[in-house]
Amino acid sequence: MGNCIDRADALVLAHYYAPDVVQAAADFVGDSFALAQRAVASDKPVIVFCGVSFMGESAKILCPEKQVYLPAPDAHCPMADMATEEEIAAMRASVPDLAVVVYVNSSARLKSHADVVVTSANAVKVVSRLKEKNIYFIPDKNLGAFVAAQLPEKNFYFGHGCCPIHNATTADEARAALAAHPGALLLSHAECPAAVRAMSAFVGSTAGMIAYAEGSDAKEFVIATEAGTLYELSRRCPEKKFYPTRTDFLCADMKKITPEAVENVFAGNGIPVEVEAPVADRARRALRRMLELAQ
């Protein structure tokens, strides 16, 4: 057992997909982009990141001087490994004027081979500001297609990856949910398949979906993203109603993050996140470039 961590020394960050009780106890709740910004801006020496492994890695890469802990170190995003260094090398060798754009939902090693990292909240803006004509967007093919549709001046190449949870959403599910709630608007995460995105009143990041619902005159919404988002939606819009496209729209890895797991970190039982220095140095350049281009 290590030394206990003073709560006053720590910033507790929680992703929207974490369990409701974890979000309620966090210092700040957000999507990947907002959480990365908060980690960088914090003057706390410790970050307790209630998210999956790639999120903890990104925080450590951007804040090497801080201690970063994941309450559930085995919480992992399957998409994080759905691209390889060999695939990137092959694309660089065969396509001129190429920018390798890696979605933040990826391992630190994959980020280390990127020209820039993006999140679902800033991907369109960041890619639009790249000088390269050709874009290799990995690992999420669905988000990549969403970005490509808005930037016809660029030439896109995609990987084969996707979020298994979002990609499993179907147009039939969305239609059934809308039929069950006449008058509701469909809001979809950009990781959803094209057929679902095409039916939606809004497509974007989790934070974008929440902002849209908050600013809309509509009173009912069907939500095509992880069910943990319903907590923040209901908190910000208590007068509105939200319905998931399916009842099991859940990321099992995010649900490993329990209050007990968070307290275990403060009790001194956490394992600090570490990233090999050469990998961290290369990935840091791509992450910092994202923060610069997204301003």
Q: Give yes or no for residue 295 having a pLDDT over 60.
A: yes
Tens of pLDDT, residue by residue over 268-281, are 999 999 999 999 99
Are 110 and 102 a contacting pair, CB within 8 Å? yes
The CA distance from 14 to 71, in Å, is 11
What is the chain's mean pLDDT, rounded? 96
Q: What is the 3-state secondary structure of 54-74?
A: HHHHHHHHHCCCCEEECCCCC
Nearest to 45 by CA among 12, 14, 10, 13: 10
DSSP 8-state assignment for residue 228: T
Same domain for 151 and 180, yes or no, is no
Tens of pLDDT, residue by residue over 166-219, are 999 999 999 999 999 999 999 999 999 999 999 999 999 999 999 999 999 999
Spatial neighbors of 263 by CB under 8 A, at least 6 apart, are: none
Q: What is the mean pLDDT of residues 250-267?
A: 97
Q: Phi, psi at residue 249, to the nearest 5°? A: -80, 75
Structural domain range at position 50: 7-77+254-277
- Give the pLDDT of residue 268: 95
- Give the pLDDT of residue 32: 87
As a dihedral over the C-alpha atoms of residue 59, residue 88, residue 123, residue 204, rounded to 10 degrees, the angle is: -100
Does some domain include residue 286?
Answer: no
- Give the pLDDT of residue 74: 96
Does some domain include residue 283?
Answer: no
Percentage helix, strand, coil, to 5, in the chain?
Answer: 45, 20, 35
Q: What is the mean pLDDT of residues 3-25?
A: 96
Share of the chain above pLDDT 90, in %: 97
- b/e 9-24 (16+ beta carbons within 10 angstroms → b): ebbbbbbbbbbeebbe
Same domain for 123 and 192, yes or no, is no
Does some domain include residue 87?
Answer: yes
Same domain for 58 and 115, yes or no, is no
Q: Phi, psi at residue 162, to the nearest 5°? A: -170, 165
Same domain for 144 and 196, yes or no, is no
Q: What is the mean pLDDT of residues 111-133?
A: 97
Q: What is the mean pLDDT of residues 124-138?
A: 98
DSSP 8-state assignment for residue 195: H
Are 139 and 83 a contacting pair, CB within 8 Å? yes
Does some domain include residue 294?
Answer: no
Nearest to 118 by CA among 98, 96, 153, 143: 143
The CATH number of the domain where 273 resides is what?
3.40.50.10800
Share of the chain above pLDDT 70, in %: 100
Same domain for 87 and 156, yes or no, is yes
Q: What element of type H or E holds 156? A: strand 155-158
Q: Which residue, 134, 161, 188, sits at the end of a domain?
A: 161
Helix (H, G, I), strand (E, B) or coil at 254: helix
Are 71 and 269 a contacting pair, CB within 8 Å? no
Does some domain include residue 50?
Answer: yes
Nearest to 140 by CA among 124, 122, 119, 114: 119
Helices 206-215 + 229-236 axis angle, to 10: 30
Q: What is the mean pLDDT of residues 159-170?
A: 96
- Give the pLDDT of residue 1: 57
Same domain for 26 and 70, yes or no, is yes
Q: pTM to 2 decimals?
A: 0.93
HSE-CB of 36 using CA atoms within 13 angstroms: 25
For residue 230 the two structure tokens come to 């319903």
- b/e 209-239 (16+ beta carbons within 10 angstroms → b): bbebbeeeeeeebbbbbbbbbbbbbeeebee
pLDDT band at 2, cuts 50/70/90?
confident
Same domain for 83 and 153, yes or no, is yes
